[in-house]
Structure 1
Amino acid sequence: MKNPSTPSDGQQVRETVRSGYAAIASGQQRSCCCGQRSNAADPARLAQTLGYDAATLARLPEGANMGLSCGNPVAMAALMPGQTVIDLGSGGGFDAFQAGEKVTASGHVIGVDMTPEMLDKARKNIASYSQLTGLDNVEFRLGEIEHLPVADSSVDVVLSNCVINLSPDKEQVWREIFRVLKPGGKAAVSDLALLKPLPENIRQMAEALVGCVGGAILVEQTRAIVEKTGFSRLALRTNPGYVQSMQDWNDPLYAEIAKNLPHGEKLADFVVSLTIEAYKE
């Protein structure tokens, strides 16, 4: 089988991801990108492990936190009132709604997701968000992160949380991020990356694709793509303990992947949580 990231297989990869996340949104499947754990309280536990505070989580619409994070790009972004923000792969609205509170009524947040079921879930959460916060500054648009439904140079900050891994064309994603950012704008991204190449059988697993693992590339490949796109003031930071914690929590997706690894190897030997801060001059 070809590498999932080759352009000829791009649409197949997107459909695999789309169907997997549709199942998550409809409750037919529990595990996915940095997936939801077997314990019902785990999405909140995971979020707090990543630095989201309990008070903020309590203000989110019910079901917005689906346990899909591998970092905290909202905190990294240091959002300010009045900013325009786009959230790539916005899911149920977890980061988008938090961003909405931070940019206040004078700001605007646009969530983009390619899965209609996720979009429906997020849009239904808007009424609850407005009731909780008194704000009407978040919207959700259907679209692929490789082709964002947003005008050129119109956004102050781009957020993404464990999503770019899923794209079969990461260079195009970063070109789009660069296109939509205003001069001086910032990308704040949490993702998964590789410390060394994954065995081919792991890359071929559909569970790995939907789990943000099969589409991951090397940390230095990520750096090269972002620099090539034209970003400056680039900072990449790794969190090697994140994937190990997923294994310690006995997540079924990670257990399935781990049993297919070479003898004596752990998933944390290959995969790391990565934060990316990059500015458009």
Structure 2
Amino acid sequence: MNTVPQSDERLRQEVSARYARTALQVLGTPEGDTSSCCASGCCSSGAHQSDPITSDLYTQMELGEIPVAAALASLGCGNPTALAELRPGEKVLDLGSGGGIDVLLSAKRVGPTGFAYGLDMTDAMLELAERNRKEAGIENVKFLKGIIESIPLPDTSVDVVISNCVINLSADKGQVLREAYRVLTSGGRFAVSDIVVQGDLPPILRRDMESWAGCVAGALEEATYRLLLQEAGFVDIEIEVTRRYSLDDIASSGASASVTSLSPEEREAIDGRFVSAFVRARKP
């Protein structure tokens, strides 16, 4: 079991490396470590339909609108584009856009008078996303390189911020939410899918790098999520559970080593406590 790095930058590098492996696999680029991040280290690819967190998130109609590679590189835990109630003409930002699936779907929903930005820190994912954009023939999209703790866009520049199982990977989630608030227009909407834990996590799960990259160890407790959103300035905060995971689900998503080491009491305490949730909020 690899432990979570104490340095925020080292943690960011570890997460990026795991997600790069998925992008390189989809791009068909050979890489020294042929074991896919999708196999155990992160929210698995949409190609692995047996994964309890990432499977069956998009309709067949939605998947038919985008390149296959965008779906194969999808590492999310929800479908924020379907739940964000996007409207024609809106500007949308996807935090941690990966292979671009949610950006491309958003661009279609906001139409030619709207625009969709995707922000990602991983070069291989950005390359894959741009390839998918060109294949889809979608022009109202721009992919940006950067980190979600420091969004490279001006103040009040987007109407909606979405994200798909990425905020939980950040070591400074409060800063991410403050940045989301900054770039939103007045009345703008925060509409993300994320993993949330309803209760405390055993320390061994919090320290496990594989379960962090698997969207487990970094999950915020629900009350903490609400508090951080309030502190950032958001109002009308809602957290809607969309899926609930058993302990076996959590183990298969990348946390098997740490789950095995839990005591029977700890297992019972966290069984069913991990959920995918749709987190909504609004900037006044």
TM range (shorter): 0.7 to 0.9
Match of 1:271 in 2: 274
Q: Return the offset for 1:63.
A: 1.1
Question: Are residues 87 and 171 of structure 1, via their aligned partners in 2, closer, same or farther at CA, if it must alter by over 3 Å?
Answer: same
Q: Return the offset for 1:252.
A: 5.8
Q: Return the offset for 1:24.
A: 1.5
Alignment pair present for 1:175 and 2:186:
no
Q: Matches of residues 112-131 of structure 1 in structure 2 within 5 Å?
A: 112-130=119-137
Match of 2:166 in 1: 163
SS in 1 for 2:220: coil
Gaps of 5+ in 2: 26-33
Please report the TM-score for the alignment, with normalisation by the length of structure 2: 0.86
d(CA) in 1 for partners of 2:166 and 2:54? 16
Q: Is the Cα–Cα contact under 8 Å of residues 46 and 67 in structure 1 kept in the other structure?
A: no
Q: For residue 216 of structure 2, what is the amino acid of its counterpart?
A: V
Alignment pair present for 1:17 and 2:26:
no
Match of 2:56 in 1: 49
Q: Is the Cα–Cα contact under 8 Å of residues 33 and 69 in structure 1 kept in the other structure?
A: no
Q: Return the offset for 1:34.
A: 2.9
SS in 2 for 1:105: coil
Q: For residue 214 of structure 2, what is the amino acid of its counterpart?
A: G
SS in 2 for 1:109: strand
Q: Is the Cα–Cα contact under 8 Å of residues 104 and 141 in structure 2 kept in the other structure?
A: yes
Match of 1:247 in 2: 249
Match of 2:78 in 1: 71
Q: Return the offset for 1:257.
A: 4.3
d(CA) in 2 for partners of 1:200 and 1:268? 15
Q: Return the offset for 1:62.
A: 2.1
Question: Which of 91, 94, 103 does residue 87 from structure 1 map onto?
Answer: 94
Q: For residue 180 of structure 2, what is the amino acid of its counterpart?
A: I
Q: Which moved more, 1:202-211 or 1:89-98?
A: 202-211
Match of 1:202 in 2: 205
**RMSD across aligned positions (CA):** 2.5
Provide Cα deviations, 1:83-138, integer angstroms capped at 9, x if missing partner. 100000000001111001001111110000011111111111111111xxxx3111
Match of 1:236 in 2: 239
Provide Cα deviations, 1:52-76, integer angstroms capped at 9, x if missing partner. 2211112211210124121121111
Q: For residue 259 of structure 1, what is the amino acid of its counterpart?
A: T
Q: Which moved more, 1:200-209 or 1:220-229?
A: 200-209
Q: Is the Cα–Cα contact under 8 Å of residues 78 and 165 in structure 2 kept in the other structure?
A: yes
SS in 2 for 1:42: coil
Q: For residue 56 of structure 2, what is the amino acid of its counterpart?
A: T
SS in 1 for 2:154: coil
Q: For residue 204 of structure 1, what is the amino acid of its counterpart?
A: R
Q: Is the Cα–Cα contact under 8 Å of residues 26 and 117 in structure 1 kept in the other structure?
A: yes
Question: Which of 113, 116, 129 does residue 106 from structure 1 map onto?
Answer: 113
Provide Cα deviations, 1:5-56, integer angstroms capped at 9, x if missing partner. 9xx621121111111111121124123443237xx46189976733x22111
Alignment size in residue pairs: 268
